[in-house]
Structure 1
Amino acid sequence: MKNSKECIDACLACMIECEKCATMCITMGGMEECLKACRDCADICTLCAKLCARDSQFCDDICALCVKCCEACMAECAKHGEHCKACMEACKKCAEACKM
């Protein structure tokens, strides 16, 4: 099984950065796709952390989905400026932790 502590920590950190990035997207306007990607990623990261914490039978499945969401969020954030950088970094770390 995956290193759940590392995965949980990375998911929670990613959720926080995605929420911050989504808030910036709202205030800046015109960044709907980034906003959607960040919100989806934040929600999946939260769910992933919860399922890993309870050692769910679906942990591997949700981790795979989390990787996919993190990669999609990174790709969207890469289209934007400096305010998306922390989100991209958190997504990268989360995807790596969830692949382990």
Structure 2
Amino acid sequence: MNEAVETLVSQVAACAKACNQCFYACLKEEDVKMMTNCIRTDRECADMCGIVADFAYRESEVFPDLVAACAKMCGVCAAECEQHDMQHCKDCAEACRACEKACNDYLGQ
């Protein structure tokens, strides 16, 4: 696997970790109902990042399409988390923005 793919896989793994941490922290918030959309987007983003990592190792021909979808999902998740003041949401938004950039950088190479 080339260096660009390795870099991308590292970034999607970090994003998935941040999304999962945010997801679990949101479940512990006092007003969980208020966090429903954040929880949903965290899970979707973590899942998408996992799919990108899996397909990178398969050298799938649909890999670029998945990377594009991952960039979009990371943007959606970041936008949701940026609406909340909790540190776990701020950390997740930062990881999602970094992953979104890494995906777009990979696609633009």
TM over 0.5: yes
The CA deviation at 1:3 is 1.6
Aligned residue pair count:
100
Maintained 8 Å contact 1:8/1:53: no
Structure 1, unpaired ranges of 5+: none
Corresponding residue for residue 67 of structure 1: 71
The CA deviation at 1:2 is 8.8
Corresponding residue for residue 86 of structure 1: 91
TM-score between both structures, scaled by the size of structure 2: 0.87
Matched, 1:8 2:9: yes
Q: CA RMSD in A?
A: 1.5
Percent identity of the aligned residues?
35
TM-score between both structures, scaled by the size of structure 1: 0.94
Larger Rg over CA atoms: 2
Q: Give distance in 2, aligned partners of 1:72 and 1:16.
A: 17
Q: After superposition, give the CA deviation of every residue in 1:11-46 in whole Å (9 maximum; x if it has no partner).
A: 000000000000011111120000000000000000
Match of 1:48 among 41, 48, 52: 52
Aligned partner of residue 59 in structure 2, secondary structure: coil
Q: Give distance in 1, aligned partners of 2:104 and 2:58.
A: 18
